[in-house]
Chain A
Amino acid sequence: GQNIDQPTEMTATEGAIVQINCTYQTSGFNGLFWYQQHAGEAPTFLSYNVLDGLEEKGRFSSFLSRSKGYSYLLLKELQMKDSASYLCAVSMNRDDKIIFGKGTRLHILP
């Protein structure tokens, strides 16, 4: 079966750095997505990693290790608006199907 694990909730302070981890075991792997979702809204795309390594995009960076089935999303200089759920999702070979983890609710404290 498919399994994508990420912490349920995390709390961090405004201006700080937080790392959200994701581990996966899936039958087939194209790449790994990170999405941000505010309550009641559709997810918005943050990153897509296919190859091992770190990709930086402004305040957000995403890392992938295919051999370890592991990824993390790194958020720097946290802002209150970063309070949201962060979804790790795996794109699988068959039909390019995308399976989501349960999401990590990130709370930012002033």
Chain B
Amino acid sequence: GAVVSQHPSWVICKSGTSVKIECRSLDFQATTMFWYRQFPKQSLMLMATSNEGSKATYEQGVEKDKFLINHASLTLSTLTVTSAHPEDSSFYICSATGGSGGTEAFFGQGTRLTVV
């Protein structure tokens, strides 16, 4: 199956700093990438949808100025958590569509963010 690589797998940062998470499709062109957040023992909550070369579409309640998404190419999307606070600590997962599986979404490994 198609491979999506997400980096870093975990990060600890100080409150007030910014963190960038990368999501790369390694063997296919990802026309659409999704960013999810998952709190402990809860399901994945969609944060935003990004298409290459256009602005991301954010879900209701997600601050677009705080969670900056850039989808500069068909193989790379980045999520930057700006001015992170402890309540932003969560598991962030990207997924991408556009591989040979049709509309199947392929997930990155996830990033565990801890803000101290």
Q: Interface of A with B (CB < 8 Å)?
A: 30-31, 33, 40-45, 48, 85, 87, 91, 95-103, 105
Q: Which residues of A contact B42 (CB under 8 A)?
A: 102-103
- Report how many residues on chain B are interfacial, defined by Cβ distance under 8 Å: 29
Known A-B contacts A42-B107, A42-B110, A45-B1; the reply to A98 vs B43 at CB < 8 A is: no
Q: Which residues of A contact B110 (CB under 8 A)?
A: 41-42
Q: Is the interface of B mostly helix, strand, loop or mixed?
A: strand
Q: List residues 22-81 of chain B with CB under 8 A from any CB of chain A.
A: 32, 34, 36, 41-46, 49, 51, 57
Lowest 7 A-B CB distances belong to which pairs?
A: A42-B107, A102-B43, A103-B43, A100-B44, A42-B110, A100-B43, A95-B49
Residue of B nearest to A8 (CB): B41
Pairwise interchain contact B49-A87, C-beta atoms closer than 8 A: no
Residue among B42, B43, B51 having the largest count of chain A Cβ atoms under 10 Å: B43
Pairwise interchain contact B49-A97, C-beta atoms closer than 8 A: yes
Q: Interface of B with A (CB < 8 Å)?
A: 1, 6, 32, 34, 36, 41-46, 49, 51, 57, 91, 93, 95, 97, 101-110, 112
Q: Which of A30, A44, A87, A103 contacts B103 (CB 8 A)?
A: A30
Residue of A nearest to B110 (CB): A42
Known A-B contacts A87-B43, A100-B46, A101-B43; the reply to A42 vs B104 at CB < 8 A is: no
A104 to B91, CA, bound (A): 18
Q: Which residues of A contact B104 (CB under 8 A)?
A: 33, 45, 48
Q: Which of B6, B32, B102, B107 contacts A95 (CB 8 A)?
A: B32
Q: Which residues of A contact B6 (CB under 8 A)?
A: 42
Pairwise interchain contact B107-A43, C-beta atoms closer than 8 A: yes
A100 to B32, CA, bound (A): 17
